[in-house]
A and B are shown apart, each in its own frame.
Chain A
């Protein structure tokens, strides 16, 4: 092994510049992968934690996945029937057996909170903003979301102490131009109007919530929606978020109502993340493929140049495996050194990104890049780099091992 390594190092030592270029190729691939992963992984992780914290893990809604069957279909399940322009029966929307559902959930390990969610118009002076009003039971809501923590002006308890209190998202308050203590006029779709007082302003960091959500006591929401004693959502928090999907499925099977996990509620964003990751993996994959070509190139060149050396080494008694080893090791050295330099580059890149300050409002609001400094990208990048380096070296190395020394010795004379 010592001899094989010595030979490999000897070859690389003779082609310093090409070696450097190959190593740089690998290092760039690895470095950018780490930088990009830190950037995107950080953002995605942050978004998901924010969502998990400030959004219920599961919501049982007053909806069904399949619309109720029309009586005609029930009678003729196989019949060719088409019904158009059916006006739905006017019925009170909401979860009918809410009391039983809540009682059943009391006995489960999941925290639950009843809510009535309705659309409203906020009017303040000449400004009008449409938003969602969520009627909550603050005590129970606290067990389900981190609303209490996210309130940075006023408090959740003020809903109890103030008549007609409302808590607004920061973005919503800004759009209306209101502050703590201001009186708003709230109009519901059924035409009810209520004067409400701003008793709290929250900031979750998730734009969709901060700009469009507001909270009041559930009674006030029921008054506005003209649906006394009705709730239309049960919000749940479960101990293990990773099984939210399965738990939601169970609840749906049990109660019949649509139960939506947080993944489903945010499936558009999570889907976007998948696309984003796919794009990044292909981009970095392309860099590493180019780097692999560099390795392939240098090793092919060395083999071409060293045909005589290969011939004599074989005649001395080095086996095909030894010859293959000499060139495979060169590939591995290039891959390894490239990986190490890439790690340093990736670390530097991450730190550089971390030092950039700016204000951004997208899915989340932030003052700079949110970075994930996990070690996983380092491992993944190293694996990619080493695999591609090995493969890039293996192709020409295999050819070198098969060279026939007689052909070369005859040619050299």
Chain B
């Protein structure tokens, strides 16, 4: 069974005087363990598609199943629950909470899930940070880190609840090429372990390192 499946997925903005199609008629199927890159020129709807797949946005038409569950049938609370248990997000901006330490930031999804004891959460968060190359300074605040380090903490947070799918929206967009490569190396390593990763990128060099590329033009899959 695919971890993610869409049929005719469409999102049209109707706020302005003219309806603006963001993505149209996306038929997609992602199997467990795939490392997928969504590419395309800016404005082609890459991020919009990712937000739909990540249940952050609601499609105007079409169907979406995640882990066999029909997203259209779920309430807002159930969608939030599905994001918490099955999905992990990494964005272009790190979105770490400034008043919390790195360890606390990584622990937030686990705290919300509430399956582990506090001590176990701390250990898991620390292990994730170490795995992503942050051996020390777990009690620092995000503003004491470099951009590359912050993005790795954000990845650790996305992995906190062992998600079915890791969704990344231009995760290297704010990083230099060296740090961007580090992030992609991490993704590759995760994918090699069986972690499903879907990332949006406009960098063909990085996209080439994935197992599958989906190219969008004007909100539709091309080629």
Which of A135-143, A315-323, A360-368, A373-381 binds B? Answer: A315-323
Contact residues of B between 44 and 79, Cβ < 8 Å to A:
47, 51, 54, 56-57, 76-77
Within the complex, what minimum Cβ distance (angstroms) separates A310 from chain B?
A: 10
Known: A2-B111, A406-B56, A406-B57. A315 touches B89 (CB 8 A): yes
Instruction: With CB as the reference atom, state the residue of chain B lying closest to A312.
Output: B95
Closest to B157 in A: A316
B109 and A316 within 8 A (CB): yes
Query: For B157, what are the chain A residues with a Cβ–Cβ distance below 8 Å?
Result: 316
Interface residues of A in 368-413 (CB under 8 A from B): 405-406, 409-410, 412-413
Give the interface SS of chain A, mostly helix, strand, loop or mixed. helix
Give the shortest distance, in Å, between A274 (CB) and chain B (any CB): 49
Bitwise, B153-184 to A at CB < 8 A (1) or not (0) is 00001000000000001100100000000000
Query: Does A245 have its Cβ within 8 Å of any Cβ on chain B?
Result: no
Say if the beta carbon of B212 comes within 8 Å of chain A. Answer: no
A311 in the interface, Cβ–Cβ < 8 Å?
Answer: yes
Whether A317 pairs with B93 at a CB distance below 8 angstroms is no
Q: Determine which of A317, A319, A412 lies in contact with B109 in the assembled complex, contact meaning CB atoms within 8 Å.
A: A317
A-side interface residues, number (CB < 8 Å): 28
B6 within 8 A of A: no
Closest chain-A Cβ to B207's Cβ sits at a distance in Å of 18
- Contact check, B80 vs A318: say whether CB atoms are below 8 A apart: yes
Min Cβ gap B154→A in Å is 9
Q: Contact at A3–B111, with CB atoms within 8 Å?
A: yes
Which residues 181-204 of B sit at the A interface, judged by CB distance below 8 A? none
* Closest beta carbon of chain A to B182's beta carbon, Å: 20
Q: Cα distance A406–B89 when bound, in Å?
A: 12
Query: Across the interface, do B170 and A413 meet the contact criterion of CB distance under 8 Å?
Result: yes
| Chain B hits for A312, CB < 8 A | 89, 91, 95, 97
Question: Is A314 positioned at the interface, with any CB of B under 8 Å from its CB?
Answer: yes
Indicate if the CB atoms of B93 and A319 lie closer than 8 Å. no
A10 near B: Cβ within 8 Å? yes
Answer whether A308 and B80 are a contact pair too, CB < 8 Å, given A2-B111, A315-B54, A316-B108. Answer: no
A1-42, CB < 8 A from B: 2-3, 6-7, 10-11, 13-14
Q: Cβ of A3 and Cβ of B112 under 8 Å apart?
A: yes
B85: chain A residues within 8 A (beta carbon):
317
With both chains docked as a complex, state the minimum distance between the C-beta of B56 and any C-beta of chain A, in angstroms: 5
